[in-house]
Amino acid sequence: MTEQDQAPDGYLTSFIFPGLAVRGAIVQVAESWSKWSILRRYPGTVHDLLGQAMAAVPLMASTLKFEGVLSLQAQGDGALPFMVVQSSNDLEVRGTARWKGEIGGAASPALFGKGQLGIIIEPYGKGQRYEALVPLEGETIAECLAGYFNQSEQLDTRLLLCSGESGIAGMFLQRMPAEDSLDSDAWPRLTALLETLTNEELLGLSPQDIIRRLFHEETLQVFAARAVSLRCRCSHGKTSELLLSMGEAEVRDILAEQGQVEMECGFCGHKYIYDPAEIDALFAAEQAEPPTETRH
Ligand SMILES: [Zn+2]
């Protein structure tokens, strides 16, 4: 998952309804989803919930007006105590979850138990970090996120998210901020149409066919599809920065105990292994040249 030359097998198609002050997008990711989810052997329920959340983040990140990362981070006291999913503005998506013991039933936010969902937007460079915390309510992650947009952002939003064995998909409609609709019935009409779409259709039909199936009586402007990839942003360089930030004493302790230093990426599970010579070189280089400010 660290190869940079992988062809994307996912796409995001945005569209607007001119004059109706409504925008939307469809995201679909095929085989790379099964490759991603197999890395951690998620139980079925966790697999479904993680897939739905990983379909949500590129939809949300597609509206960012700057370069950065959008994350959803759920934490609670339930059988699924932790999940984090991220999409960069250029739609590189990754996610991971931790669960406890046997876990089954519906892929509902109730699995997190008592807890909260954080929506975090971190611009690269000097921009202001944004964080909102919302209750983990609703039958589905889609409902929970719609609640966030409707209440915290005052943006009427409806989402569909689904996760299958061989792919994930999502679609959203959102009233555009600061624009008036020429048609006061547009929002209830368009969202009612959206609700008629089945998971099978969202996963299996092309975006063009989905748009035709739902909105054949409406006027839409459809934008060129953007590539979406499930890809981890971890690297040897970033792992080395992390080791440097831990400090030489702590890293030397691990080395003395284990004979090498093994750092596993929390997202993709890739293991970065440092032998004693590499640890020597890492800290020798740091002493020769103090590290500049880094970004994570
Ligand atoms: Zn990784």
pLDDT value at residue 17: 95
Distance 243 CA to ligand 1 centre (A): 15
Judge contact between 179 and 18, C-beta under 8 A.
no
CA–centroid distance, 96 to ligand 1, in Å, is: 10
- Strand pairing report for 115-123 and 130-135: antiparallel
Distance from the alpha carbon of residue 45 to the mean position of ligand 1, in angstroms: 22
> pTM above 0.85?
yes
169 touches 162 (CB < 8 A)? yes
Query: What is the torsion angle, in degrees rounded to the nearest 10, for the CA atoms of residue 82, residue 98, residue 252 and residue 243?
Result: -60
Q: Rounded to the nearest whole angstrom, what is the distance from the C-alpha of residue 203 to the centroid of ligand 1?
A: 26
Distances (CA, A) of 52 to 60, 110, 165, 170, 176: 13, 15, 12, 8, 23
User: Per residue in 92-124, pLDDT tens?
Assistant: 999 999 999 888 888 899 999 999 999 999 999
The 10s digit of each residue's pLDDT in 157-172 is 999 999 988 899 999 9
Residue entry with tokens 């669960």: 99
Q: Going from the N-terminus, what domains does the chain have, and what CATH number goes with each?
A: 10-230 (3.55.30.10), 236-288 (3.90.1280.10)
